Chain A
Amino acid sequence: DQQVKQNSPSLSVQEGRISILNCDYTNSMFDYFLWYKKYPAEGPTFLISISSIKDKNEDGRFTVFLNKSAKHLSLHIVPSQPGDSAVYFCAAAAGGTSYGKLTFGQGTILTVHP
C-alpha cells in the first residue's frame, strides 16, 4: 500500500531543457510535500517543499506544483544541468501531529546529458 508513488523510474533530459518529475499520492491527510535529491553513496538532501495551502513554490531553477484535486505534484527544473543528475524522491507528511513522519516515493533517476 504505497501512499506516495513516482511512476517514472527514470528520466533522461538534455542540458538546458526542462526536467519534469512527477509524484502521485493517495492519502488525503497529507498536507505538506517535499522533494529530496540523492547522489550515489550519499543520504538524501532537501531540495524544496510546498504546503497544501499553496499550489506553487519556486526556488531558483526549481519549482514545485501541487494539484490537490488530482493528488499530484511535480518538480520542474529549468534549465537542467548535468550536476542535477541524481535520484529525486518525493515525500509527504500529514500535519503537525505527525512528528516529522515522512512517507517517500520510490524515486526517479534523472540523467541530464551535456
Chain B
Amino acid sequence: DTAVSQTPKYLVTQMGNDKSIKCEQNLGHDTMYWYKQDSKKFLKIMFSYNNKELIINETVPNRFSPKSPDKAHLNLHINSLELGDSAVYFCASSQQRGGPIQETQYFGPGTRLLVL
C-alpha cells in the first residue's frame, strides 16, 4: 500500500514525442507537487495543486502541463519532448494547513525520463 505512487518508473522516448507521467496518493492529502531533479541533482519545484487548484507554477516551459482530475491524482503531460527534459521527476503530497509550519511532504519513487 504505497503512499505516493508514480507510473511509469522509467520512460525512454524520442525527441518531439508527447508523454505523460501519472501520480496518485492514498494519504488523503489536499496538496500535490511535481519536482524535477536535474543533472546537477537539485530538486526544483515545478507545480503545486491544492484541492485541484493550481497554486504554484514556477518558470516552467508551457510544454509542461499538469492535470489534477481529483485530489488524489496529479498527472504531468509533456509535449514536444526535448533533450534537456531528461531528468528524474518526483511527485509529492502534503496536507497544507497554512501558517508558518510546513507540513511534511511525502515523495513518490520518481520517474526517470530519458529523451533521445
Given A32-B100, A43-B4, A49-B102, are A102 and B45 neighbors across the interface (CB < 8 Å)? Answer: yes
Q: Is B48 an interface residue (CB 8 A)?
A: yes
Task: Tell me which of A2, A51, A101 contacts B42 (CB under 8 A).
Answer: A2
Interface size class of A (residues with CB under 8 A): 20 to 34
Number of B residues near A (Cβ < 8 Å) is: 31
**Listed residue (B33, B90, B98, B104) with the most chain A CB atoms within 10 angstroms of its CB:** B104
Count of CB-CB pairs between chains A and B under 8 Å? 73
State whether A99 and B92 are in contact (beta carbons under 8 Å apart), knowing that A106-B41, A106-B42 are contacts in the complex. Answer: no
A42 with B109: CB separation less than 8 A? yes
Known contacts A44-B107, A104-B43; A99 and B55 CB within 8 A of each other: yes
- Kindly state the separation between the CA atoms of A104 and B55 in the bound complex, as whole angstroms: 19
Q: Which residues of B contact A (CB under 8 A)?
A: 4, 31, 33, 35, 40-45, 48, 50, 55-56, 90, 92, 94, 96, 98-110
Q: Which of B43, B94, B109 is in CB contact (< 8 Å) with A41?
A: B109
Known: A43-B4, A106-B41. A99 touches B56 (CB 8 A): yes
Known: A32-B100, A43-B92, A95-B100. 4 other contacts (CB 8 A): A31-B100, A98-B102, A99-B48, A100-B96
